[in-house]
Amino acid sequence: MTVILHVDMDAFYASVAELDHPEYKGKALVVGAGARGVVLSANYEARKFGIRAAMPVGRAKRMAPHAIFIAPEHHRYSEISERVMAIFHSYTPLVEPISLDEAFLDVTGSQKLFGTGREIAAKIRKQVEKEEGITCSVGLAQSKFIAKLASQHCKPNGMLEIKSDRILEFLHPLPVRAIWGVGPKTAESLERLGLHTVSDIAHTPRATLIRALGESTGASLYELAWGRDYRDVTPEEPDK
């Protein structure tokens, strides 16, 4: 049985800043400089005020004037990311980086050597924290789609496994935006059709979805709504 992990560093840029400046720990911290810039990362203290990545820095400052705002240090993120990816590679050659701070790992063939998927995930989390001083969250499932959703649901610093017999129970109550590829525009189209949850999409005829959203989007959403995702973990370098 395939075992895929989605490993996602927690508030990566902000965590690196706290590592380099321990005096920021416990305070609302935002990485993103200049009134016209955008927020790259916000720690969990800053998120309590509604601050999110990609938000204009000016708006974030109005939401939390007392927060600490710092400029990004890209060389530091690349340096730590490289070492974290090396940890992943020590468990499996099948590592697909998505960005500097997240990757998919296919650990199916690593279990003889390192234990179950859960044990591998626990070892990775422990090693990243011990060697790099930052935390990560790990989702485990049989597919990339479900593993990524699982990691989002156990943040920060958690681990969640979705076994194959629990996929629909986990997936169907989620909002339509939880599905890979559903941006604001597609979400709007789905809501116009009266589809608000993943279950609503799953129980809509495939042909109806294709008519409303086009062949590729309609077919893809229908498959994902039933938890079907056949994509392999393909090792490649992330875009810097």
Residue 237 a catalytic site member: no
- Give strand pairing partners of 9: 136
What is the chain written as a DSSP string? ---EEEEEETTHHHHHHHHH-GGGTTS-EEE--STTSB--EE-HHHHTTT--TTSBHHHHHHH-TTSEEE---HHHHHHHHHHHHHHHHTT-S-EEEEETTEEEEE-GGGHHHH-SHHHHHHHHHHHHHHHHS--EEEEEESSHHHHHHHHHHT-SS-EEE--GGGHHHHHTTSBGGGSTT--HHHHHHHHHTT--BHHHHHTS-HHHHHHHH-HHHHHHHHHHHTT---PPP---PPP-
State the catalytic residue, choosing from 45, 96, 102, 161.
102
Give catalytic residue positions: 102
